[in-house]
Amino acid sequence: MISLTATYRLQLREGVTFATAQDYLPHLAANGISHLYLSPIFAAQAGSTHGYDVIDPNAIEADLGGDAGFAALAQAAQAAGIGIVLDIVPNHTAFSLENPWLRDLLRHGTDSAFAPHFDIDWSERLMLPFLTDGFDALVERGEVTLDRAADGPVLCVGDLAVPLDPATVGDETDMGALHDAQVWRLVPWQRERDSITHRRFFNVTGLIGMRVEDDAVFEDMHRKVFDLVDGGLVQGLRLDHIDGLADPAAYLETLKARLPDTPIWVEKILTGDEALPDWGLAGTTGYEAARQIARLLTDADGHARLMAAWQEQTGRSGSFHKALIAAKNEVIRQDLAAELQQMIVLADAAAVAAGDEQGQEALREAVVALLVAFPRYRTYLAGADNREDDVALMHRVADEAAEGLRSDHVVRLLTDCILSPQTPEAARLQVRFQQVTGALLAKSHEDTAGFRWNAYIAANEVGADPDDVTIIDDAMNDWLADRLPMAITLTSSHDTKRSEDARMRLVACSRLPADLIALVDGVATLKGADAVRPNTRWYMVQSALAIWGEDDLDTRLRDHMTKAMREAKRVTNWTHPDEAAEARVLNLIPHLTAQWRDTAPAALDRLIALGQRLSLVQTALKIAMTGVPDIYRGCLGPHFALTDPDNRRPVDLDALMHLTEAGGFAGDKARLSRDLLLLRSADPAFFDTAGCTIARDAGGAVALTRDDGNRRLTLRCDTGDDPVVTWDDSAAPAAKPGRTG
């Protein structure tokens, strides 16, 4: 058994294969990494850059090296003393004609062996929103034809070739009648926003929910995973989007029973003071740890100065929470309109079954109010067997939702159905409500309000709260005391909004608020700046700071600002982009970068220098604190990136192997990472069991202490002194002669 001391997250695809990973193993071992943590390895859609759009969960991706390549990697890893953690996707597969299970379903309908696998509303035909125009119009233009693929007859529209039920295909076929005879129907892609028939991942129609609550589906979805674990090739699992499942707790019980000795981590976004349910897991993947470190290093007074300046320049007031509620009200009616309509139908059925039939408008009002008021990703209700915390939370949500609402009675009715379903209709409402709350919060918080509330974007992070950007020592120590020893500690991932070093440059703004304000004011004087909203300028300046000095800077900023504006949905969006409005913002970027290059603002230099020092502190805290440090690929050294796809750009793995020999920040971070990871790997038991506390002095220096009664390790982190991080490793006072515990 390999002791778990640190994981290294490697993004496969786009040229990174199992062979690439194998070549990298000696470097990981030399840096004290115990486990290689891989992005999804199973067959995905052609051209997939991430692997979460799985088409076959029981086939290893051939382009990565297939079964033989993975076996070779696993064997080489074991020889190097490194385990493998797999990222798996139980919630969804690709809603794609490349998906063989889905193709079988399209051809054979509910007679398909795979019909129970997909989460589909069969009250009407399965909607395929793949067309650019109405089906009848395409038929009239002669763009719909009949053909034959290797697995049977197909209906062709452009590049689409949709499987047909063979029994419906005759010698002379009327295309409209043939289409009407299928269990599916082709519709324009614009219909996906408000009328789909399958459960999707958030608002991504190209991913379809899987019914792993069904025992047969569970086995089919995990067969290859079990083979890899049973064969000793895989030593741990990371579960993607656990909150999308119908019953996460039951799913995890089944999985743990099958893999009792395998550590399991869940991608679970914890908000506020929310705790991970007692599921008997190794822990979460660690977004809450990134948040706590950023809060620990944020200066409250400096943040207040930034907020005041931002509010003065933008005219904004109120709180992020208020902005989030506004975003939720928009997102549920727009991006998630299809989910809202499904919820209203389910609520109607539950109310009728309860003998309390309601009007559609009252149901709509009550459903929206409950969804918008819900503050977390979800509860974990299952029938009437519910945790007290979840019941109390739902009652608080109902109280808030009902306040001032004409349909407050309907809110109470639906809450009762969700909390204690007495009918099959209420049970379906319970399940679906809990799946939609997470999608709504993610799309509203991370992907909308987080691009609107731009005073201090260091706090606009997954699971973070821009209204609560600092933490006192006692609260930090309470959190550390409750933390599971095997919980992952991440500071960067493929999903974080900024990489760890980029985020620390932004945290530096709270300690040097006048410098950020000076940079923002300087950009306001540039040509074209008056055509860009002040709030957008604040966002642009911070984004430029976050990746300043990187290659392809202007292009990356243009791509990111385009995404940020479309996610904010103020003047443009993904469905109907306003390119003229976008151009006014994008045209400012070259003027900003030219100004900074030509004048080399002292404020910029100070923020970058402090950001580097904060990055070293963050590195030390992450590696030494309770939990298992996770290193996102490239992050043993400097890594400056914005949200995806920027943070998924390829990294030069060869160059990373020599960073400990480099000078400057790159070498400092690489050597600090290596030394602390080796310190940790030399005594895993100590880091598993030793208590952990932090303390800050009046000057802001942070001391982190680990103590198990026999050994004490103290790290001192001070951004004002060189070296930034030092440590003392000695016998604990209680273990020294003449002392008692």
Q: Considering Cα of 47, then 51, then 56, then 61, what sign does the dihedral take?
A: positive
Pairing of the two strands 152-157 and 160-163: antiparallel
What is the architecture, at CATH level 2, of domain 284-302+460-686? Alpha-Beta Barrel (3.20)
What is the architecture, at CATH level 2, of domain 7-91+213-267? Alpha-Beta Barrel (3.20)
Q: Which pLDDT score, from 0 to 100, does residue 596 have?
A: 98
CB atoms within 10 A of CB 361: 12
Ramachandran category for residue 432: left, alpha or beta (phi over 0 → left; psi -120 to 50 → alpha): alpha
Instruction: For residue range 647-690, list pLDDT tens digits in order.
Output: 998 888 788 889 999 999 999 999 999 999 999 999 999 999 99
Burial of 272 (0-12, 13-18, 19+ CB in 10 A): exposed
Q: In what order do the strands lie in the sheet with 702-707?
A: 691-696, 702-707, 711-717, 725-731
Same fold, 7-91+213-267 and 284-302+460-686: yes
Which of 12, 65, 499, 488 is closest to 239 using CA atoms? 488
Please state whether the peptide bond connecting residue 723 to the residue before it is cis, i.e. omega within 30 degrees of 0.
yes
Q: Which pLDDT score, from 0 to 100, does residue 215 have?
A: 97
**Position 365: which residue type?**
E
Please state whether the peptide bond connecting residue 684 to the residue before it is cis, i.e. omega within 30 degrees of 0.
no
Start-to-end Cα distance in the chain: 33
Question: Would you say 319 and 459 are in contact if contact means Cβ atoms under 8 Å apart?
Answer: no
Pairing of the two strands 54-60 and 42-44: antiparallel
Q: Which pLDDT score, from 0 to 100, does residue 736 have?
A: 54
CA distances to 564, 578, 642 from 569, in Å: 9, 10, 19
The whole-angstrom separation of Cα 638 and Cα 440 is 34
Instruction: For residue range 688-706, list pLDDT tens digits in order.
Output: 999 999 999 988 899 999 9
Instruction: For residue range 544-574, list pLDDT tens digits in order.
Output: 999 999 999 999 999 999 999 999 999 999 9
Q: Which two tokens stand for residue 671?
A: 């050597």
What's the CATH superfamily of 100-207? Maltooligosyl trehalose synthase, domain 2 (3.30.1590.10)
**Annotated domain spans of the chain:** 7-91+213-267, 100-207, 284-302+460-686, 322-449
**Position 545: which residue type?**
L
Question: Would you say 589 and 617 are in contact if contact means Cβ atoms under 8 Å apart?
Answer: no
The whole-angstrom separation of Cα 156 and Cα 147 is 7
Which of 704, 629, 636 is closest to 5 using CA atoms? 629
Contacts of 441 (CB under 8 A, 6+ apart): 271, 328, 374, 375, 376, 377
DSSP string, 598-633: HH--HHHHHHHHHHHHHHHHHHHHHHHSSSEEEEET
Which of 452, 448, 451, 458 is closest to 303 using CA atoms? 458
Contacts of 241 (CB under 8 A, 6+ apart): 89, 91, 92, 201, 267
Helices (H), 486-552: 500-511, 513-523, 534-547
Q: Which two tokens stand for residue 483?
A: 């933390």
Question: Would you say 487 and 283 are in contact if contact means Cβ atoms under 8 Å apart?
Answer: yes
Regions in the chain scoring below 70 on pLDDT: 735-741
The whole-angstrom separation of Cα 105 and Cα 92 is 16
Instruction: Encode 344-358: b = buried (16+ Cβ within 10 Å), e = exposed.
Output: bbbbbbbbebbeeeb
The whole-angstrom separation of Cα 254 and Cα 508 is 45
Question: Would you say 67 and 60 are in contact if contact means Cβ atoms under 8 Å apart?
Answer: yes
Strands (E), 367-522: 488-489
Give the DSSP H or E segment for 595: helix 589-599
